[in-house]
Amino acid sequence: EAQVTQNPRYLITVTGKKLTVTCSQNMNHEYMSWYRQDPGLGLRQIYYSMNVEVTDKGDVPEGYKVSRKEKRNFPLILESPSPNQTSLYFCASAPKGDYEQYFGPGTRLTVT
Amino acid sequence: GEDVEQSLFLSVREGDSSVINCTYTDSSSTYLYWYKQEPGAGLQLLTYIFSNMDMKQDQRLTVLLNKKDKHLSLRIADTQTGDSAIYFCAESIKGGATNKLIFGTGTLLAVQP
């Protein structure tokens, strides 16, 4: 089944404790992206990747890192999480950047 | 700049038609999309329209595109309680190495029985 998977689905952590949210797609898509969703703000892009080893900042990259060592995986890293990073995070992939995007189920992160 | 705007909330009665509106700013968009997000779930593509089309109909869904006014709408006929969700419009931005989708803020559709 073609899908985008994210792990974990739910995470509660404390300020400053490094965490990684994994994202994997099995559709051989070139493009992958991370978004955060906050009430009233819609989806805001954090980082995106046009292909392996090619990543770039989105609209709200501060406090986040990504890597794209393999085509299928695009982990999101929070080196020192803060409470303002409490949000719902979505990973997405697409054949190319301006094509239909396929979304993962979301990761709800709470930073206390 | 890149900006996609939607109203935040729409309430309709079951059986009525719903119309969700979206305005965008980039005239070079090639595709425009409508996504649906049900509670606790990710976004799923509902429908899309190519920028050289004015209208697309898919069962209960009708998409209208006014390229001159940069206005996109989604009409849901015979709205059901199962249509209650957040609806996002998105435009494709094609610009060399920065091809991507820009999403609106989402419209929460509440269907009253």
Strands (DSSP E) along A1-112, which ranges?
4-7, 10-13, 19-25, 31-38, 42-51, 54-57, 65-66, 76-78, 87-94, 102-103, 107-111
Q: Is B27 on the interface with A (CB under 8 A)?
A: no
Look at residue B99 in the predicted model and tell me its pLDDT: 67
- CB environment B13-41: b (16+ within 10 A), e (fewer): eeeeebebbbbbebeebebbbbbbbeeee
Structure tokens at A25: 């797609």
Residue-level pLDDT at B25? 85
Give, for all 113 residues of chain B, the pLDDT tens digit. 568 899 889 999 999 999 999 999 877 778 899 999 998 888 999 999 998 899 999 999 999 999 999 999 999 999 999 999 999 999 887 765 556 788 898 999 999 99
Q: Please report the pLDDT score of residue B57 as a whole number.
A: 95
Mean pLDDT, range A45-70, rounded to an integer: 94
Whole-angstrom distance, CA of residue B30 vs CA of residue A74: 26
β-strand pairing of B61-66 with B71-76: antiparallel
- Compute the distance between CA of residue A68 and CA of residue A88 in angstroms, rounded to an integer: 21
Tell me how long chain B is: 113
At residue B2, the pLDDT reads 63
pLDDT above 90: residue A30: yes
Q: What is the identity of the amino acid at B29?
A: S
- What's the mean pLDDT in A48-71? 94
On the question of a cis peptide bond just before residue A8, with omega within 30 degrees of 0, the verdict is: yes
Indicate the average pLDDT of chain A.
Answer: 94
Amino acid at B16: D
Contacts of A43 in chain B (CB under 8 A): 43, 88, 103, 106
Can you give the pLDDT at residue B88?
95
Quote the minimal CA–CA distance from B6 to chain A in Å.
Answer: 10
Token code pair at residue B107: 């419209």
Name A96's bridge partners: none
Distance from CA of B88 to the nearest CA of A (A): 8
- In angstroms, the CA B109 to CA B80 distance is 11
Judged by CB atoms closer than 8 Å, whether chains meet at B45 and A100 is answered as yes
Q: How many CB pairs under 8 A join A and B?
A: 62
